[in-house]
Chains A and B, each alone.
Chain A
Amino acid sequence: MLAAVAALPDDVARVALDLPLRANLSALDNIALIPLYQSHFDATESTRQAQAMLERLGFAGIAPLRDPDMTPAQRFATQLARALILQRPRLVIDRPGAMLYDVPYPAFIRQLAEQAAMTGTWEIYDFSWNQPLYNQALDSE
Chain B
Amino acid sequence: MNFLAASIESLGAKVTGWFTVGYGIFAFLAKAVLLLLLDRTIWNRATFDVVIKQVYFTSVQILHVFLGYALVISWLIITIILSTARDFGLTEFASEMTIRVLVLELLPFLTALFIALRSGSAINTEIALMQVNNELDALAHCKVPPMQFEFLPRLIGGVISVITLAGLAGLLALLLAYLSIYGLSMAGFEPFTQTFAKIFNLQIMAGLIAKCALFGLAVTLIPITAGLETPKKLFMVPVSVLRGMMRVFFAIVAIEVVSLALKYI
Binding site for B on A (CB under 8 A): 14, 18-24, 33-34, 36-38, 40, 42-43, 82, 86
B72 CB → nearest A CB, Å? 33
Closest to A36 in B: B46
**Residues on B with beta carbons closer than 8 Å to the beta carbon of A23:** 129-130, 133, 135
Bound-state CA distance A43–B138 (Å) is: 21
**A-B contacts at CB below 8 angstroms, number:** 48
Pairs across A and B, CB under 8 Å, 12 listed: A18-B137, A19-B141, A22-B130, A33-B149, A36-B46, A37-B46, A37-B143, A37-B148, A40-B44, A42-B45, A43-B45, A43-B49
Q: Which of B41, B45, B134 contacts A19 (CB 8 A)?
A: B134
**Residues on A with beta carbons closer than 8 Å to the beta carbon of B129:** 23
Bound-state CA distance A98–B189 (Å) is: 72
Closest to B129 in A: A23
Q: A24-B126, A40-B44 are in contact. List 16 more A-B contacts (CB 8 A).
A: A18-B137, A19-B137, A20-B133, A20-B135, A22-B135, A22-B138, A33-B142, A33-B144, A37-B46, A37-B144, A37-B148, A40-B41, A40-B46, A43-B49, A82-B142, A86-B143
Closest to B49 in A: A43
Main secondary structure of the interface of A (DSSP, over half): loop
Closest to B126 in A: A24
Bound-state CA distance A22–B138 (Å) is: 8
Bound-state CA distance A30–B4 (Å) is: 55
Bound-state CA distance A96–B49 (Å) is: 35
Bound-state CA distance A43–B134 (Å) is: 25
**Residues on A with beta carbons closer than 8 Å to the beta carbon of B135:** 20-23
Interface size grouping (class) on chain B? 20 to 34
Binding site for A on B (CB under 8 A): 41, 44-46, 49, 126, 129-130, 133-135, 137-139, 141-145, 148-149
A10 CB → nearest B CB, Å? 8
Bound-state CA distance A22–B139 (Å) is: 8
Bound-state CA distance A14–B137 (Å) is: 12
Q: Which of B134, B142, B148 contacts A86 (CB 8 A)?
A: B142
A87 CB → nearest B CB, Å? 11
Q: Are the CB atoms of B134 and A37 closer together than 8 Å?
A: no
**Residues on A with beta carbons closer than 8 Å to the beta carbon of B137:** 18-19
Bound-state CA distance A20–B144 (Å) is: 14
B42 CB → nearest A CB, Å? 10
Bound-state CA distance A36–B141 (Å) is: 15
Q: Which of A14, A22, A33, A36 counts the most B-chain CB atoms under 10 A from its CB? A: A22
Q: Which of A20, A37, A38 contacts B138 (CB 8 A)?
A: A20
Q: Are the CB atoms of A18 and B134 closer together than 8 Å?
A: yes
Closest to A31 in B: B142
Q: Which of B46, B133, B141, B144 contacts A43 (CB 8 A)?
A: B46
Closest to B133 in A: A20
**Residues on A with beta carbons closer than 8 Å to the beta carbon of B46:** 36-37, 40, 43
Q: Are the CB atoms of A37 and B133 closer together than 8 Å?
A: no
Q: Which of A19, A37, A40 contacts B149 (CB 8 A)?
A: A37
The 4 closest A-B pairs by CB, nearest first: A19-B138, A37-B144, A36-B46, A33-B144
**Residues on B with beta carbons closer than 8 Å to the beta carbon of A42:** 45
A94 CB → nearest B CB, Å? 11
**Residues on A with beta carbons closer than 8 Å to the beta carbon of B130:** 22-23
Bound-state CA distance A37–B144 (Å) is: 6
